[in-house]
Amino acid sequence: MKLFIWLLFLLAIYPYIVYPLVLKLISKLKKPSAFSKACTEEFFPKATLLITAYNEEQFLEEKIQNSLELDYPDLEIVVVSDGSIDQTNTILLKYPEIKTLLLPKRQGKPTALKAGLELATGDVIFFSDVSALYSKNSLKMLIKPLLDEKVGATGGILSLKKQNLAILGEVTYSDYETTLRALETQIFGTIVLPGTFYALRRENIVLPPENIIADDFYITCSLLEKGLRLVQVDLAVAFEQASYDTSGEFVRKARIIAGGIQTLALFPRLFCSKWGFFMFSHKLLRWGSALLLVLHYLLLLISGFYPWLLGLESILMLLGIIGIILDITGVKTPRFLALLRHFIVVNAAVIWGIMGLVSGRQTVKWQR
């Protein structure tokens, strides 16, 4: 039993501590990848910025203005409103310079993406949500490595730091994810890109079935299955304009995790590919760590072994709960409490997301 307790503990902390260190070591031993082609101002391919929206009246105009100011020579902007019932459609009609598609009924993002692609004419598609504001030259930065035929998709860095309302724990988690993707990119290519900020050639797009929750993960997994690389471009930066709170963070993470598990079940061969180690460590074991920690804690309670460890974990859990309460009440918390709060919220969202996937409660209809 003692061995099992420690084994569960080590497996639970592995994706957070050991895996980044392993990536760091491998990346130092491997020569960084070079891309076979470069583009000049005269040869940027025609591109479409495809934005999906549902009830985005609060942020939509800022996103449109940001999109119109992007530095890219041949860019069309397509916005699909997925049955919005607020002022989203009215706002879109104010901008004749963009292509708009107003779906009469809310059907979910896969359907909205399919409709948008039928309207798009670009050879390269930039996928975006209203929540992401791009830096002016970010599209050019994403294009450059994408011209290499071995690269299936490129994604930028989505920063939450510009937002005063961004939760400290979420910012730290975002930075951690960015670091993992950068290290994976240096080795074989990463396995995941931000769904609000990525690009791929039109001919490589495999749209997800209508019941798929994580459309972006499905699209990028289909590229990996073809043997194409996913590249994080550190010079391409966007800023998240949505504010974060504990309840919104919980719902968002539960949806992402449910969608991720649903998608990975459709691509089992990826675990036997050169990205298998990344998939197991970055995704599967990270999600599984929530269940491992629950089992580990229950064994400590039942067995009576290591009361000092049980006491320490109980204190940390209590501090995390206090952090949640303080956040809900609008009290600013120090970094340590914010990190504990975020850790508890994310791991609780894993369990809730799995339950939602199994029960059918989690659907393709997304919310901010």
Cβ–Cβ < 8 Å for 261, 213: no
- DSSP three-state, residue 134: strand
Question: What tokens were used for 164?
Answer: 């005063």
For the chain, list the domains and their CATH numbers. 41-251 (3.90.550.10)
| pLDDT of 366 | 60
Per-10-residue mean pLDDT for the chain, 368 residues long?
92 94 90 57 85 93 96 95 94 94 91 94 95 94 91 92 57 86 94 94 93 92 96 93 70 88 94 95 93 94 93 95 86 83 90 86 65
Q: What angle do CA 131, 350, 302 make, to 5 degrees?
A: 155
Q: Model pTM?
A: 0.89
C-alpha 156: how far from chain center: 11
Q: Give the integer Cα–Cα distance in Å for 6 and 2.
A: 6
Q: Give the integer Cα–Cα distance in Å for 253 and 352.
A: 9
Q: Give the integer Cα–Cα distance in Å for 351 and 257.
A: 9
Report the chain's C-alpha Rg in angstroms: 21
225: amino acid identity, one letter? E
SS3 content of the chain, % helix, strand, coil (to 5): 55, 15, 30
- DSSP three-state, residue 367: coil
Question: What tokens were used for 300?
Answer: 């400590």
